[in-house]
Amino acid sequence: MRFYFPDSQDLVSPGYNFQHDEYPPSRVRQRDDLYAHEILDAPPYSGLLVSKSIVDGAMKGSGKYTGAQRARLYRLGIRGFFRLPDSIESLGDNGAFNYADELVPPVTVEETLDFYEGCGFDAGVSVDHIIFGYDPLASLEKVDPAWAERRRITLRLAEEFITRVTDQGLKLKPVGAAQGWSPASYADSVRQLQAMGYRRIALGGMVPLKTKDILECLQAIDLVRSPTTELHLLGITRVESMDAFSEYGVTSFDSTSAFRQAFMDDRNNFHTEHESFIALRVPQVDGNPTLKRAILAGRVSQKEAIAQERVCLRALREFDGSDQAIQRALTELGAYESICQVKKSYLGEYKRTLDAAPWSDCKCSLCRKLGIEIAIFRGTERNKRRGFHNMSVLASKMKKLKSNTLVSTTRSNNG
């Protein structure tokens, strides 16, 4: 089972000063920064998924790349730009969610292949159109016409895609995109894609589905799937179900979930193998909109806020795990919560984090180097590093999957 991380230009600066929250004055974004596979002891993913819409922009707005970064990507190629080791595969797609509201995809097969070939991707997903909805009882004939049309568009573009790849003799490995609204429609999409010549198929539109629904779709697909056809789940993590998924031909998936939970989730910010913890929120005074408004309105003294921010950080940095240190940290966190006028207190969850001190038991390079800093919810440099840590935990969990253990055992037995 292989995990692909979707790129959104998530990097960290190795020279960042955590004591003063400052970047090196000579730092150039991206060029001088590090990706997760560069800063961790071992890459936390088997592949990198890069969307055309992230690089070039889409209907919903501009991409995540500056003009200079985009030019460097095309000049250096995917492997040079991301500084990828040979063990990491590059997979391209269009980022269909970004144009999901359009009646038809605003990108052509030719434009997509130009992007894949221009950047030197190892593999690329055909152009698809997301179906918004799931009805296991809807037949291929009696269904919302808009759903049926999106599936027809996806299959038509997939046929054009693989035909162009074959006719032009491209090295790119074609991955067919399958859309559907039921087990039967997904199975029929896979059947047609296989007939076109695809031996690797990406299943899209399954993110909202329950695990039970995904398994029912995979079971239906398995009835028509060739033994040599590999399936990829777009946007799905669910590590606890991956062994079950693998029984039906799933060999890879992509997701930003573990990474984004570090700073988007209300509580599950710091992952371990068996549980998750809340990060300790110490927002920067000049980076907290609510606090800035309160200061401008005269309800909060900026001097007091900055003073308590520093006291809070000092208490955490001097934390030694003792009961006295836990109480001191909670007192200062509580005082800063009051100044920040938070809508709800997290002190109960903070105590659980401080009691466990999960960073002290973690063997990843980031936790070893940063200690408690990685558990502080504050600014992009800490938050993204915590996201990278979470991905290292995901990688560790994946190594213990039955499907991966069986593969490792087979390789060992074969010499």
d(CA 41, CA 37): 8
Contact assessment for residue 90 and residue 50, using Cβ atoms and an 8 Å cutoff: yes
Q: Which residues are catalytic?
A: 93, 254
- Is 201 strand, coil or helix? strand
Q: Tell me how crowded residue 338 is: count the other CB atoms within 10 A of its CB.
A: 12
DSSP type of residue 29: T
Using a 10 angstrom Cβ sphere, with 0-12 exposed, 13-18 middle and 19 or more buried, the burial of residue 105 is buried
Contact assessment for residue 270 and residue 358, using Cβ atoms and an 8 Å cutoff: yes
Sequence-ordered list of residues with C-beta below 8 angstroms from that of 3, at least 6 positions apart, any chain: 44, 45, 46, 47, 252, 253, 254, 255, 394, 395, 398
Sequence-ordered list of residues with C-beta below 8 angstroms from that of 12, at least 6 positions apart, any chain: 33, 34, 39, 381, 384, 385, 388
Sequence-ordered list of residues with C-beta below 8 angstroms from that of 134, at least 6 positions apart, any chain: 181, 182, 205, 208, 209, 213
Contact assessment for residue 267 and residue 349, using Cβ atoms and an 8 Å cutoff: yes
d(CA 36, CA 28): 18
d(CA 310, CA 287): 14
d(CA 395, CA 397): 5
Query: Quick one: which of 5, 99, 90 has its CA closest to 111?
Result: 99
Q: How far separated are the first and last CA of the chain, in Å rounded? A: 21
d(CA 198, CA 155): 12
Sign of the dihedral defined by the CA atoms of residues 41, 45, 50, 51, in that order: negative
Instruction: Record the tokens describing residue 344, joined without a space.
Output: 């709800």
